[in-house]
């Protein structure tokens, strides 16, 4: 697996995905070699993750390599430390997410992003959903939160969505 070289390998695949998308290639399935897909899988990632980053990088200039790396380092750590290198067999059903306009304690999008972040952490997002999509990015910007920071908080309070909401409220109060 070569742990020490993770960031270099991730950068190489991220850049490759961005280049391929820019050249007009579409569909995560054809972006990477069998060996590259095996490396991704060994680190708890998928070709879809990098495809989503490449698509948004090309179309919106976000989230960018640095944010993608931060997110995937948290996901990778969870995969190794909590899942012991074994992928979850579950997949979040997108239609089971709270609606996009749902709020809790004055935080729009928070009811939706918590289960998305939990699914990202566990590797259970369907190909149709991206952690750090445009809606997520609006939430992060509005609340001045790094996507990787939020993912780490979700991991810390994994069993208690209420604790995540309370963390958000404390953070908002401290910012005032």
Residue 76: its pLDDT value, please? 98
Residue 176: its pLDDT value, please? 80
Residue 43: its pLDDT value, please? 97
pTM (predicted TM-score): 0.96
Residue 155: its pLDDT value, please? 98
**Domain spans of the chain?**
1-87, 88-176
Residue 175: its pLDDT value, please? 85
The parts of the chain modelled with pLDDT lower than 50 are none
Residue 108: its pLDDT value, please? 97
What is the CB neighbour count within 10 angstroms for residue 104?
Answer: 18
Token pair listed for 32:
């990477």
Residue 1: its pLDDT value, please? 54
């Amino acid at each position: 697996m070569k742990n020490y070289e993770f960031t270099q390998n991730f950068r190489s695949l991220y850049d490759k995905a961005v280049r391929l998308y820019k050249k007009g290639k579409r569909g995560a399935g054809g972006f990477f070699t069998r060996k590259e897909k095996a490396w991704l899988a060994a680190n708890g990632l998928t070709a879809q993750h990098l495809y989503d980053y490449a698509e948004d990088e090309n179309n919106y200039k976000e989230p960018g390599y640095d944010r993608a790396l931060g997110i995937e380092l948290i996901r990778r750590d969870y995969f190794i430390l909590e899942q012991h290198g074994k992928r979850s067999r579950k997949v979040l059903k997108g239609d089971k997410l709270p609606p996009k306009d749902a709020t809790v304690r004055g935080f729009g999008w928070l009811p939706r992003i918590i289960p998305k972040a939990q699914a990202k952490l566990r590797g259970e997002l369907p190909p149709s959903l991206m952690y750090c999509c445009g809606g997520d990015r609006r939430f992060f910007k509005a609340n001045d939160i790094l996507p990787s920071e939020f993912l780490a908080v979700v991991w810390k309070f994994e069993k208690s969505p209420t604790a995540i909401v309370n963390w958000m409220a404390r953070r908002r109060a401290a910012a005032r």
